[in-house]
């Protein structure tokens, strides 16, 4: 199937109000242009250099999402244009985003990444540490950084009960935080393999790559 057909199919399965981020990492600009021609405007990348190269080459009304782990020393390359940073998981990174947003005289929207998977992963904060960072953000310690929600990745498993439990735990935490923060509007959870489960658990944004652009040879 073509990119256009894949997009049409996925769009037809989305719960009303759920935003689709087309994850184009490792894929050539020609395929992104195909998706763009079908009306897709939100794209996600996980590597800064690749994101910057694609931003420079492609139409300027694309909304670019940085979905992967972000190193502090690379924030400056994306801060002039990035639409949403999904994987903020430390004060150090938040502080750097604040500095670069201020230099660019803009506000940068972020999501705090929560570690919900049971597998070993370095990325994302446990709920209690996320609570502390979210409190600092609420108290306006980073005036040019606006936290608009949370992001999480479930364990890579066929066990749907486990995936559902992980997404549901994140949704409960999201609901609690949303009561404290009126800017909260985005719960980014769900990829090609689990976005339907994620939507059942209350996701408002899904990040889908291989089901749109085909399998990747590397990540």
Ligand X SMILES: *Cc1c(COP(=O)(O)O)cnc(C)c1O
Whole-number CA gyration radius for the chain: 17
Q: In the complex, which residue's CB is closest to ligand X?
A: 209
Least distance to ligand X from the beta carbon of 135, Å? 25
User: From CA 157, how far away is CA 165, in angstroms rounded?
Assistant: 12
Binding status of residue 210 toward ligand X by CB under 6 A: yes
Is 83 exposed, middle or buried, given 0-12, 13-18 or 19+ CB atoms closer than 10 A?
Answer: middle
Binding status of residue 65 toward ligand X by CB under 6 A: no
Q: Closer CB to ligand X, residue 20 or residue 133?
A: 20
Q: What is the dihedral of CA 196, 63, 2, 13, to 10 degrees?
A: 20
Is 162 exposed, middle or buried, given 0-12, 13-18 or 19+ CB atoms closer than 10 A?
Answer: middle
Q: Closer CB to ligand X, residue 103 or residue 156?
A: 156
Instruction: Specify the DSSP element, H or E, that contains 206.
Output: strand 205-208
Among 192, 196, 200, 202, binds ligand X (CB under 6 A): 192
Instruction: Give the Å distances, CA to CA, from 20 to 37, 78, 106, 128, 170.
Output: 15, 21, 24, 29, 19
Q: Closer CB to ligand X, residue 24 or residue 98?
A: 24
Whether 133 and 107 have beta carbons less than 8 Å apart is answered as no
Residue range at the interface with ligand X (CB under 6 A); choices 12-20, 50-58, 71-79, 204-212: 204-212
Among 191, 197, 198, 201, binds ligand X (CB under 6 A): 191
Least distance to ligand X from the beta carbon of 69, Å? 9
Which string of DSSP letters, residue by residue, matches 1-27?
A: --HHHHHHHHHHHSPTTPEEEEE-TT-
Binding status of residue 26 toward ligand X by CB under 6 A: no
Among 51, 68, 85, 94, binds ligand X (CB under 6 A): 68
Q: Closer CB to ligand X, residue 46 or residue 94?
A: 46
Q: Closer CB to ligand X, residue 69 or residue 141?
A: 69
List of residues 6+ apart from 141 with CB closer than 8 A: none
Among 23, 35, 111, 187, binds ligand X (CB under 6 A): 23
Binding status of residue 207 toward ligand X by CB under 6 A: yes
Least distance to ligand X from the beta carbon of 6, Å? 11
Residues that bind ligand X (CB under 6 A): 23, 25, 46, 67-68, 191-193, 207-211
């Amino acid at each position: 199937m073509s990119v256009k057909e894949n997009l049409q199919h996925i769009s037809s399965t989305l719960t009303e109000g759920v935003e689709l981020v087309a994850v184009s990492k490792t894929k050539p600009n020609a395929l992104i242009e195909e998706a763009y021609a079908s009306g897709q405007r939100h794209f996600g990348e996980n590597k800064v250099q690749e994101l910057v190269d694609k931003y420079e080459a492609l139409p300027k009304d694309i909304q670019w999402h940085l979905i992967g782990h972000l190193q502090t020393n690379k924030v400056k390359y994306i801060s002039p244009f990035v639409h949403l940073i999904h994987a903020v998981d430390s004060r150090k990174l938040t502080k750097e985003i604040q500095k670069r947003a201020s230099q660019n005289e803009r506000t940068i929207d972020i999501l705090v990444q929560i570690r919900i998977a049971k597998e070993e992963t370095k990325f994302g904060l446990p709920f209690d540490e996320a609570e502390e960072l979210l409190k600092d953000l609420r108290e306006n310690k980073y005036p040019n950084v606006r936290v608009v929600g949370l992001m999480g990745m479930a364990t890579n498993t066929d066990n749907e009960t486990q995936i559902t439990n992980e997404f549901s735990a994140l949704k409960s935490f999201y609901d609690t935080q949303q009561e404290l923060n009126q800017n909260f509007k985005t719960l980014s959870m769900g990829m090609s393999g689990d976005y339907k489960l994620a939507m059942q658990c209350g996701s408002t944004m899904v990040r889908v790559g291989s089901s749109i652009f085909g399998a990747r040879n590397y990540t």
